[in-house]
């Protein structure tokens, strides 16, 4: 039987300050993500999803009208796991050359990413993905993600309010800047591009 457990953060709760507070991390990782994991484990008991790995649960449940709750929780487990790997202490800095080339320049990538992240209405995610080898930016609402669309996730930013509201209130653009300039884990992103 599949049973997902909470993964530990690869950094301390205080190591992302002042760009992300320990309180935000404790709620975001310790409560929001923990709830998705518990919900998913409870929902799949006795179903065909019980024996599937997470990727497969996401793929199958994304097209199953009877498994909306399973999809939402499975996708949010994946999305959050991926997001927490996309950030690190002393992150940010120079945009990798592969991304700069794909968008024409680092400045163009940053501009397009910020436009997508600020323009996403409501709750969701901004992704850098590989689509048949081409690097693209995409946004998804709520729990949706690239895995459900057969795309390869490379990087993500969580723009649900719980990701930033305690630190930035309604200033989502400031959170996006902090992510790009001080938090993004480019080493993880480059590994995903390979």
pLDDT along the chain (194 residues), means of 10: 74 94 88 89 94 93 96 95 96 94 97 96 94 96 94 95 83 95 97 92
Q: What's the DSSP call for residue 4?
A: -
Q: How does strand 124-131 pair with strand 152-158? A: antiparallel
Q: What is the pLDDT of residue 3?
A: 64
Distance CA 135, CA 111 (A): 15
Spell out the domain ranges in the chain.
22-85, 97-193
Tokens (6 digits) for 189 = 């992103």
How crowded is the C-beta side of 61, counted as CA atoms within 13 Å?
27
CB 33 within 8 A of CB 23: no
User: How far apart, in whole angstroms, are the C-alpha atoms of residue 22 and residue 172?
Assistant: 18
Q: What is the CATH T-level fold of the domain 97-193, as seen in this structure?
A: minor pseudopilin epsh fold (3.55.40)
Interatomic CA distance for residues 26 and 33, integer angstroms: 10
7 CB burial (10 A radius; 0-12, 13-18, 19+):
middle
Q: pLDDT value at position 67? A: 96
pTM to 2 decimal places: 0.93
pLDDT of residue 1: 47
> How far apart are alpha carbons 35 and 77 in whole angstroms?
9
- CATH fold for the domain made of 22-85: Helix Hairpins (1.10.287)
pLDDT at residue 4 in the model: 74
Matching residue, tokens 């996403």: 120
């Amino acid at each position: 039987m599949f049973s997902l457990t909470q993964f530990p953060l690869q950094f301390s709760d205080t190591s992302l300050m002042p760009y992300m507070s320990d309180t935000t991390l404790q709620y975001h990782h310790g409560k929001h993500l923990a709830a998705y994991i518990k919900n998913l484990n409870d929902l799949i008991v006795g179903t065909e999803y019980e024996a599937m790995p997470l990727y497969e649960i996401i793929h199958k449940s994304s097209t199953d009208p009877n498994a909306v709750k399973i999809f939402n929780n499975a996708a949010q487990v994946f999305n959050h796991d991926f997001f927490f790997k996309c950030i690190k202490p002393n992150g940010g800095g120079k945009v990798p050359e592969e991304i700069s080339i794909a968008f024409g320049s680092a400045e163009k990538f940053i501009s397009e990413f910020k436009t997508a992240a600020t323009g996403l209405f409501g709750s969701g995610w901004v992704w850098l993905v590989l689509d048949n080898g081409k690097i693209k930016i995409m946004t998804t609402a709520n729990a949706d993600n690239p895995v459900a669309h057969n795309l390869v996730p490379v990087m993500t930013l969580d723009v649900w309010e719980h990701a930033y509201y305690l630190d930035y209130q309604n200033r989502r653009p400031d959170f996006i800047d902090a992510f790009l300039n001080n938090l993004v884990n480019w080493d993880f992103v480059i590994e995903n591009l390979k």
